[in-house]
Amino acid sequence: KHLKGDLAKYVRFIGKIKVKGKEFPVSIYELFNGDPSDISDLKLKTKEDFERAVRLRDSHDFDAAQLGFKRVLSDFPGDKTTQIYLSRFRKSEK
């Protein structure tokens, strides 16, 4: 929550989950400063779009979220977290 210096830019919000024993969902973040530089550069490039898509999903605007995740994937096809989100949309459409 209170990271200092450049470390804060290497964190992206990946969603909220319900945790047993907690009244409210818990926010989950990914720290990616240890990723290879080509991967962390792509995560930095797509971070704003990715986090916007996550928030849209959390607010139940699924169509806009799906478009946002597709935009991220077009810039960063290897983003596993984005791939997971999009696969969940596909499963819910069936």
Own/partner pairs, 40-47, CB within 8 angstroms, 24+ separation = 40/10, 42/75, 42/76, 42/78, 42/79, 43/10, 43/12, 43/76, 43/79, 44/9, 44/10, 45/75, 45/76, 46/72, 46/75, 46/76, 46/79, 47/12
pLDDT digits (tens, 9 = 90+) for 4-51: 777 888 999 999 989 999 999 999 999 999 999 999 999 999 999 999
Please, what is the end-to-end C-alpha distance for the chain in angstroms? 38
pLDDT digits (tens, 9 = 90+) for 38-75: 999 999 999 999 999 999 999 999 999 999 999 999 99
Judged against a pLDDT cut of 80, whether residue 3 lies above it is answered with: no
Please compute the mean of the pLDDT values over residues 79-89 and round it to a whole number: 93
Please compute the mean of the pLDDT values over residues 85-90 and round it to a whole number: 88
